[in-house]
Amino acid sequence: MTLTRTDSGGEASLAPRVRVPAIRGRTLIAASAVIAALLAAIPLAYLVVRVAEADRSAVVDAMWRPRTLELLLNTSGLVLSVSATCLVIGVATAWVLTRTDLRGRGVWLVVSTLPLAIPSYVAAFGWIATTPLRGFWGAWLVLTFCNIPLVTLPTIAALRQAHPGAEDVARTMGRGPLAAFMAATWPQIRPAAIAGTLLVALYVLSDFGAVALMRFQAFTWAIHTAYGALFDRTLAAVLSVVLALMGILLVMLERRARGARAKLGSAVQARTPAVLVRLRRRSWLAHAGLAAVASLSLGVPLAALGRFLTGRAESAFTVSAGDLAADVWNTVAFAGGGALIALALAMPIGILSARHRSRLSEATESASYLGLALPGIVVGLALVFFSLTVVPSLYQSAIILAFAYGVLFLPKAVGAVRSSIEQVEPGLEEVARTLGSSPADVWRRVTVRMAWPGIGAGVLLVALTAMKELPATLLLRPTGVDTLATSLWRYTEASAYGAAAPYAAMLIVVAAVPAILLTREATGGAHRGPQEHPGRVSP
């Protein structure tokens, strides 16, 4: 068995004096990342410019009138009350599902994550179509029961990793069950629960559909009214800046909580499985509680949907299959375009932060997080101003709407690109170089081949999430063109619930896929690591 050496006599040109072109490639990526970050910052930057250019006294008036304070209090009150309720119910649910011997825990786990598949404005549609509930309590109810899973899922993951031994030790030292839980287990799951709660707060802050349908005077609805009904653009811009600052604050808090969680997760390893609490005759209480939560989060919206889907169409509005198909096509086209723009912006930012960590990569990655901090209504309004003054030809065009989606869902796309590229070990690329592949060949034959499934899934997720987007779509869609979300909105506003129902059903189908992915990601937390970002659920 000898190796037949292919004659390499003609290989004398071994050393064509070529310099490694890595530096040039890196500069190109860095430059593209900076451009992408600048594009992602357009909405916020232009909003600030718009306010700075406005008449100083008008800005001061808008800022200091009593109504702004009232909106601030309304929104803060809603954010705080929904977050607090979600925290309590979410942690309790997580505990019951992981630390008790409740029968049917697997089924209850699925049921308790299903609300993620119901966009908040679809749930709001269900409630106002069947009950007289409106105002603060209506908004509180809808947003709470849509967002509980955002606390439940990370808390379950943390509970599964938490060390149960500490709680046993606390019990042997004379603490009761609750005191032992608070002293030993709660500190281990707190970062996860808090991070989930801050995400809830962020979604409540940016929610437009539910508060508007419930006629609750929150910032988002006030911005929409100021722009759409009052034509007071300075007021709308000023309110948007305030809302944007609140969003940025919440994102910064969420980042910090997430960091604390990552630190804890690596230190704590569950060696022994927790001993399950035996509920015995108290188990019916647990069943009743979970059933009550499920009926409020799923039961009412789905029952309303069922009633209007099967019942006779009661009004002048009827939806033909053709209308529905046209809206589906628009939705898919806009969202698909948005996902491609998000991908184009995310590629350089993601590659830079996966491969060439530096201040620059951190700065461009932070800029991409603006999409998470800025509510859809703010991005929509900013791009309305931007397109009207800077590029009037793009005003209410499909391009500017897709761009808004691209900015809003950029964090998700950057996360997918970065984690997919990070998964390709640099050692593999180096080996490929020594085997005779140029940097471009290595990129094509190794890096892209290994990273594309993750990136593709991320793009799909962005597209599905963008399909549910409401506030920015309302402001930016081309005149006379509707998507599933805007049609649902129009019919519900006009109290044509029968016509709205098919759209609501379609939207639930669309939202189910990201919800399932998020559930798998969050409860399988040990494998995927805590750094994966949960999806943006409510628009």
Note the residues at the interface with another protein (CB under 8 A).
1-6, 8, 11, 14-21, 425, 427-428, 430-438, 441, 445-446, 449-450
| Alpha carbon distance 347, 32 (integer Å) | 9
- In order of 96, 97, 108, 119, the CA distances from 112 in angstroms are 12, 10, 6, 15
> Would you say 511 and 90 are in contact if contact means Cβ atoms under 8 Å apart?
no
CB of 2 to another protein, least distance (A): 5
| Alpha carbons 224 and 461: distance in angstroms, whole number | 27
CB of 340 to another protein, least distance (A): 24
Residues 6+ apart with CB under 8 A from 185: 159, 162, 164, 166, 167
Helix, strand or coil, per DSSP, at residue 394: helix
**How many residues are recorded in the chain?**
539
When the beta carbons of 103 and 449 are compared against another protein, the nearer one is 449
What gap in Å lies between CA 401 and CA 475, rounded to an integer? 9
Of residues 411, 144, 406, 380, the one with CA closest to residue 251: 411
The nearest distance, CB 17 to another protein, in angstroms, is 6
Adjacent-strand bridge partners of 100: 277
Give the angle subtended at the CA of 137 by the CAs of 135 and 141, to the nearest 5°. 120
For residue 133, the minimal CB distance to another protein (Å) is 53
Q: Which is nearer to another protein, 455 or 470 (CB)?
A: 455
Please state whether 318 falls in left (phi above 0), alpha (psi between -120 and 50) or beta.
beta
We find the least distance from the C-beta atom of residue 494 to another protein, in angstroms, to be: 53
Q: Closest distance between another protein and the C-beta of residue 528, in Å?
A: 18
Q: How far is the CB of 503 from another protein (least distance, A)?
A: 41
Q: Say what the alpha-carbon torsion angle 227, 232, 233, 235 is, to the nearest 10 degrees.
A: -100
Among residues 18 and 178, whose Cβ is nearest to another protein?
Answer: 18
Helix orientation angle between 219-228 and 376-389, rounded to the nearest 10 degrees = 30
* 291 vs 176: CA distance, rounded Å: 28
Nearer to another protein, 298 or 442 (CB): 442
Rounded to the nearest whole angstrom, what is the least distance from the CB of residue 33 to another protein in the complex?
A: 22
Dihedral in degrees, nearest 10, Cα atoms 404, 408, 409, 412: 150
> Contact at 8 Å (CB) between 481 and 326?
no
Q: How far is the CB of 459 from another protein (least distance, A)?
A: 19
Shortest gap between Cβ of 445 and another protein (angstroms)? 8
Whose Cβ is closer to another protein: residue 16's or residue 273's?
A: 16
The residue (of 273 and 427) whose beta carbon lies closer to another protein is 427
Residue 231's CB: how many other CB atoms inside 10 A? 9
Token pair belonging to 319: 């939806």
CB 235 within 8 A of CB 244: no
Taking the complex as a whole, the smallest distance from the CB of residue 323 to another protein amounts, in Å, to 45
d(CA 374, CA 503) in angstroms, rounded, equals 26
Rounded to a whole number of angstroms, the minimum distance from the CB of residue 439 to another protein is 8
Judge whether 238 and 365 are in contact, CB under 8 Å. Answer: no
Nearest-angstrom CA–CA distance, 491 and 289: 34
- Of residues 13 and 172, the one with the C-beta less far from another protein: 13
- Give burial (CB, 10 Å; 0-12/13-18/19+) of 244: buried
SS3 of 314-355: the string is: CCCCCCCHHHHHHHHHHHHHHHHHHHHHHHHHHHHHHHHHHH
**46 vs 382: CA distance, rounded Å:** 6
Q: How far is the CB of 22 from another protein (least distance, A)?
A: 9
| 282/444 with CB nearer another protein | 444
Q: How far apart are CA 239 and CA 219, in angstroms?
A: 7
Closest by Cα among 114, 85, 368 to 200: 85
How far apart CA 234 and CA 213 sit, in angstroms, is: 24
Cβ proximity to another protein, 433 vs 520, nearer residue: 433
What minimum distance in Å lies between the beta carbon of 362 and another protein?
18
